[in-house]
Structure 1
């Protein structure tokens, strides 16, 4: 029922089943409770039995073989070499591998076919050879250590002598430098006295020694130069 651009919605039940009083709304307006409830698409799909199969089939994605890095290849090679070395050591230590060291066939005279007598123990012979080699290597190492120690002691003696000589030279340099410093002070005093008009007796004596002090300073400077050259 519409009047003047408005319409009256009669008393009825809402889609959700609740009662509603009569209301007056504009023409074309649809109250929210008149619209059907929103149903998500997946809910709608779940109502259709044909949408989902009774048993889902999940296919595994094929594994992609990535190329090995340099470190992986290097580590694999190391493990392989280590395993081969271990197997080789085990085979060397086994009695079957050492049969050629201990021949079982004996001649009529009780000797081995390879010339080793029956009384001799091949294993002891090998051990004694190893001991001799080890002792020889130890002695050579000890001799080398002694030579190095003697060289170090000689070098240390030379260094100590060099230090003593350098200390003596530095002391002589200091003494000569002090003498030169004193003589320069005296010559400076003489230069100041020469600028005066009158001099007393003591000042005249100092002025008279100027030439002697200059000569002495030159001698000391030459000595100092000779020490520095050394």
Structure 2
């Protein structure tokens, strides 16, 4: 399957479904995803200068993760490129966040990305939060719908990741859509239970991506995403 279809494989189907559907729900590969205008009609479009304000503080991240010593270790405004590190680039979006290949087919205009973890090498918590600005609210929601389809297609498969220094195998679990947030868990093989929950959502013209990793995750990424979306809605 061509790499160009990462998170964009559903665009053609999305256009057809949008034309045929009514109300506030789209079905993509059997998954119901609420349109952004159903829960953000009173939210003004955000500006680039507001993106930093929608991210969670490190204190909030620690609280959600059940940690006390996580610190921000990186902040950026550019997408990453780990496409060469995964055995199946079509599943890049399930494994990594804020990837250039994943967002390349949307009309995003600005982004901010932040990673936090404990400072020691053997950290027990790792969190990544990303807010992405689009030209329109529809574009933000379309991105979520397209990625939901791509994540769904990768469910139940294992993907090898090799960055040239370390290698690992990750099992991709099923997609869950609840409270307008899409989540998926990936579990690293032979790691004593290290796994990550990945979450997506949108409000107004902003999409939110959150990843929370630990030795046994609960719903931390979903809680991160909901909190970021709530902050964005108040801007």
Q: Which protein shows a greater Rg? A: 1
How high is the TM-score relative to the length of structure 2? 0.15
- Relative contact order (C-alpha < 8 Å, sep 6+): which is higher? 2
Q: Which has the higher helix share?
A: 1
